[in-house]
Amino acid sequence: MQSTEAKRWGQKDAGMIGGGCLGVGRVLCCLALVLACAGAVAGETLRSAARGMFPMGVGISDRIGNLTNDWSLLTAQFSMVTPENCMKPNPVQVVEGRFNFTQPDAFMAFASEQKLQVVGHCLVWAKDDRTPPWFYREGTNEASSALLLERMKKHIDTVAGRYRGRVAMWDVVNEALDDGTNYLRPSGWSKACGEEFILKAFEYAHAADPGALLIYNDYNNELPAKREKLIRLVQTLQKRKAPLGAIGLQGHYEIGQVPFKDIEDTLIAMKKLGVKVVVSELDIDVIPRARWWADGGKHREELAKLDPYKEGCPPEVLRQQADDYAKLFGLFRKYAPNIARVSFWNLHDGESWLNDFPWRRVNHPLLFDRERKPKPAFDAVVRVLVSP
Ligand code: G3I
């Protein structure tokens, strides 16, 4: 497992004073709880409420430096940030050897000024439509596995090396497990190298930045069939002594359908394997989207017109969402010693990717609304985190 030089990522909330369950801060939190008014628990933020358990993070727009209206919400509530897109292989090295660091550098500078820790995302995205095509090619032929790995090494050395010592955690490999019956997702990576490319990515990332917590990140990997593959991958990486630091459960859920038992079973399984977990991209869609992929896509025309909450999200839906979030954070709290971070995917409802994917609709998946005001789900989460 990973040996760390400086455990950057191990701080439960670097920005808070008096962290730890029994500190002065905690006493003040309890006082705040007693004084709780009808709305939010007075004075609590996500980062203060989660102090001593796990750092609270959020995936944010690459253009955060210009979004000045977001800054106070961001820094009050969160201590870690993930750039939503600008560090991915596609924008960074869309043409071989021509690296573009304009946005990542600006992002890193912003995070440093605001004293926010950074989660790098992601060094390898094991999906063909997310990998610049040149990676896979050698002239008119497919690249050999040796060439693919050489290119991967150069990419990781250059990107992780550039920010060495300044990134707390890296999503090293993203979404390599198959959703169907295969073990690995079919891709140029798995076709040429089998699972070896995953091992190598971790080795290269560790060499480039030995202090960063290195993460394997995926979606639906708490569901039983994919969890089995995840366990197999973790065991293989452990056997090969890969510097795997944590598993990322992306956590893109749908209202009323959060797989609580599967999540708990996965948290237990990872604990048994001795590997930490990060919840890396949490949100709860209030307009369930699973039907988009069902029955060969035959519901898409109808769904593309579905936009039920464009005038606002009804209170009963917000309540259900709050209940779902509360139950989730109850679980995260229960397994907090094995959870290295909980991050949302986007800062507020107006910025969520779920307004555009898989069809355009006005969505409400996060804890803050379009005015950046806390929703019932925010209160529910804080209450769970600070309850005795
Ligand atoms: O910036 C262009 C804009 O100029 C253009 O007009 C527009 C037209 O489509 O596209 C814009 O780029 C989009 C970009 O988001 C910025 O909004 C891309 O098309 C779109 O593909 C891209 O989607 C991102 C997606 O990853 C693919 O990279 C989402 O923002 C981002 O939230 C999403 O994040 C992923 C995580 O990386 C991995 N886990 C799942 C998660 C959600 O899909």
**pLDDT, tens digit, 9 for 90 and up, residues 166-176:** 999 999 999 99
Q: Is residue 319 part of a domain?
A: no
Q: What is the arithmetic mean of pLDDT over 16-27?
A: 40
Q: Kindly state whether residue 327 falls inside one of the protein's structural domains.
A: no
Taking only the tens place, the pLDDT of each residue in 80-95 is 999 999 999 999 999 9
- Does the reported pTM lie above 0.85? yes
User: Is residue 254 annotated as part of the catalytic site, yes or no?
Assistant: no
Considering only 3-12, 43-52, 164-173, 367-376, which range has the smallest mean pLDDT? 3-12
In a domain, residue 301? The reply is: no
Give the pair of three-digit tokens for residue 350.
Answer: 């107006």
* Average pLDDT of the residues in 266-291: 97
- Give the distance (Å) from ligand 1 centre to CA of residue 355: 11
Is the pLDDT assigned to residue 179 strictly greater than 70?
A: yes
Residue 135 belongs to domain spanning? 8-33+43-295+337-350
User: Alpha-carbon distance 120 to 339, whole Å?
Assistant: 18
- Residue 19, pLDDT > 90, answer no
User: Average of pLDDT values for 200-211?
Assistant: 98
How many CA atoms lie less than 13 Å away from 41 in the CB half-sphere?
Answer: 23
In a domain, 229, yes or no: yes
Rounded to an integer, the average pLDDT of 306-331 is 98
Residue tagged active-site, from 84, 222, 281, 351 = 281
pLDDT at 12: 59
Annotated catalytic residue within 175, 203, 254, 351: 175
Whether 175 is catalytic:
yes
CB-ligand 1 contact for 11 (6 Å cutoff):
no
Q: Kindly state if the Cβ of 351 falls inside 6 Å of ligand 1.
A: no
Number of domains in the chain: 1
Output the six-digit token pair for 387: 């309850």
Quick one: pLDDT at residue 87?
Answer: 98
Instruction: Answer whether residue 18 shows pLDDT above 80.
Output: no
28, with CB counted inside 10 A (0-12, 13-18, 19+), is middle
Which of 353, 359, 360 is the pocket-test mutation for ligand 1 (most atoms within 8 Å of CB)? 353
Atom of ligand 1 nearest to the CA of 353: 32
pLDDT of residue 38: 43
Decide if 184 is inside a domain: yes
Q: What single DSSP character describes residue 189? A: H
The domain that holds 346 is classified in CATH as 3.20.20.80
In a domain, 72, yes or no: yes
Question: Is 63 domain-assigned?
Answer: yes
With a 6 Å cutoff on the Cβ, whether 309 touches ligand 1 is no
| Among 117, 200, 131, 114, CA closest to 163 | 117
Q: Is residue 55 part of a domain?
A: yes
Lowest mean pLDDT among 32-41, 180-189, 212-221, 371-380: 32-41
Taking 50 as the threshold, does the pLDDT of residue 132 lie above it? yes
Distance 344 CA to ligand 1 centre (A): 16
H, E, C per residue of the chain: CCCCCCCHHHCCCCCCCCCCCCCHHHHHHHHHHHCCCCCCCCCCCHHHHCCCCCCEEEEECCCHHHCHHHHHHHHHHCCEEEECCCCCHHHHCCECCECCCHHHHHHHHHHHHCCCEEEEEEEEECCHHHCCHHHHEECCEECCHHHHHHHHHHHHHHHHHHCCCCCCEEEEEECCECCCCCCECCCHHHHHHCCHHHHHHHHHHHHHCCCCEEEEEECCCCCHHHHHHHHHHHHHHHHCCCCCCEEEECCEEECCCCCHHHHHHHHHHHHHHCCEEEEEEEEEECCCCHHHHCHHHCCHHHHCCCCCCCCCCCHHHHHHHHHHHHHHHHHHHHCHHHEEEEEEECCCHHHCHHHCCCCCCCCCCCCECCCCCECHHHHHHHHHHHCC
Measured from the Cα of 90, ligand 1's closest atom is 28
